[in-house]
Structure 1
Amino acid sequence: NAFDCSGLTSYVYSHAIGKYISRTTYSQVYQGKTVKVSTASLKKGDLLFWGSKSSPYHVGIYVGGGQYVHAATPSQGVRKQYLSSYFWPSAAKRVI
């Protein structure tokens, strides 16, 4: 299965913990509680957003240890990567 980024996050939440979140990056950024985007503040399961805080273009899920899981592109598939200062999230939300 090929996922886009928000498809992956909504799939993981519904299948892993039975929590339903909206389907698009633009609506997911308005759910939950805002969390500071720092490795000290983030908890496993937090949603990470890239781009504008009000209209982000990408979302992933923090998995701990400075890493996140995301659907990079449908062709690259789901990847686990380290947070990077070159690609630092602009916002984080805690929905669980």
Structure 2
Amino acid sequence: MGSWDSSVFSNDDAADFSFEFGDANTVAEVAPIIENALDVVLNSTLDLEAPDGATGLAAAAHVVAWNEPELLGNDAAYAPAPWPRTTEPLPRNLITKAAYEKR
């Protein structure tokens, strides 16, 4: 994993994850991408691999930025632009998953 900063998107895995959105313009296209990344983290054992963790953090950041894209700050360069691409709300379960604190 290459990294170049301490922010959520400043590593190869998180940046690559952002590019998975490609031409996804609807919630129906975006939600499964985000949910899959969150589920990998939530369903993991104690030995979460770094690439999965980085992707999970990026997915959670995308959920947060859905309603407040300015929260991405300097990381906006690594988010799919423009973000979000629709005014449709995200499914509530994604917000819950992104906020879940696994112990």
Normalised to the residue count of structure 1, the TM-score between the two structures is 0.28
Larger-gyration structure (1/2): 2
Higher strand residue share: 1
Higher helix residue share: 2
